[in-house]
């Protein structure tokens, strides 16, 4: 992680003023299954969406807490990157979307038998949410319920 002193003054000020909140302990569940037997879904906070899906709304104060479903059959090169943070350097992602959504790498793991299978759908959220209450109370539980319905064992999160 970069030192805060290597950031320019505007970003340094933002990071010092960023409202950090605690929402209690995260749920923890014991896991006793081999990955080679697991159904896996990917979740990213890169703001990815399909061309035909509505882009994330940059006008929502505190951030757009909605999500987009990404089908497992998608060609990763067609995904649109919609991350709104000016502090996010997208140059690496533009050359390889797998940096923020490693679907191609997980397909390789599935083919090698290292994971059981990939879920039929994956999910993308917008990162840089400064008012996360709607995410915590509504959209994240919706996605969690869909993953449960899909019998997903492992969700792999790539935070951006």
pLDDT digits (tens, 9 = 90+) for 123-141: 999 988 888 999 999 999 9
In this structure, of 70-74, 78-82, 85-89, 125-129, the range with the lowest mean pLDDT score is: 85-89
The pLDDT of residue 159 is above 60: yes
pLDDT value at residue 45: 94
* Higher-scoring residue by pLDDT: 154, 81: 154
pTM: 0.86
**How far apart are alpha carbons 150 and 122 in whole angstroms?**
11
Closest among 77, 82, 90 to 66, alpha carbons compared = 82
Confidence of residue 87 (pLDDT cuts 50, 70, 90): low
pLDDT of residue 12: 73
Share of the chain above pLDDT 90, in %: 64
Instruction: Please report the pLDDT score of residue 146 as a whole number.
Output: 98
What is the rounded average pLDDT of the residues 148-152?
98
Of 108, 99, 96, 117, give the one whose Cα is nearest residue 41: 117
Q: What is the Cα–Cα distance from 90 to 39, expressed in whole angstroms?
A: 29
């Amino acid at each position: 992680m970069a030192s805060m002193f290597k950031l320019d003054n505007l970003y340094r000020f933002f990071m010092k003023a960023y409202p950090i909140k605690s929402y209690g302990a995260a749920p923890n569940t014991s896991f006793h299954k081999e990955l080679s037997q697991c159904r896996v879904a990917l979740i990213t906070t890169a703001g990815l969406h399909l061309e035909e899906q509505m882009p994330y709304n940059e006008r929502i104060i505190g951030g757009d807490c909605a999500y987009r479903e990404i089908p497992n059959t998608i060609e990763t090169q067609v995904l649109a990157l919609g991350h709104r943070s000016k502090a996010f350097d997208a140059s690496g992602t533009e050359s390889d979307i797998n940096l923020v959504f490693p679907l191609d790498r997980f397909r390789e793991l599935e083919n090698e038998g290292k994971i059981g299978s990939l879920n039929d759908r994956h999910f993308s959220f917008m990162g840089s949410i400064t008012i996360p209450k709607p995410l915590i109370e509504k959209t994240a539980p919706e996605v969690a319920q869909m993953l449960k319905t899909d019998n997903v064992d492992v969700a792999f999160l790539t935070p951006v």
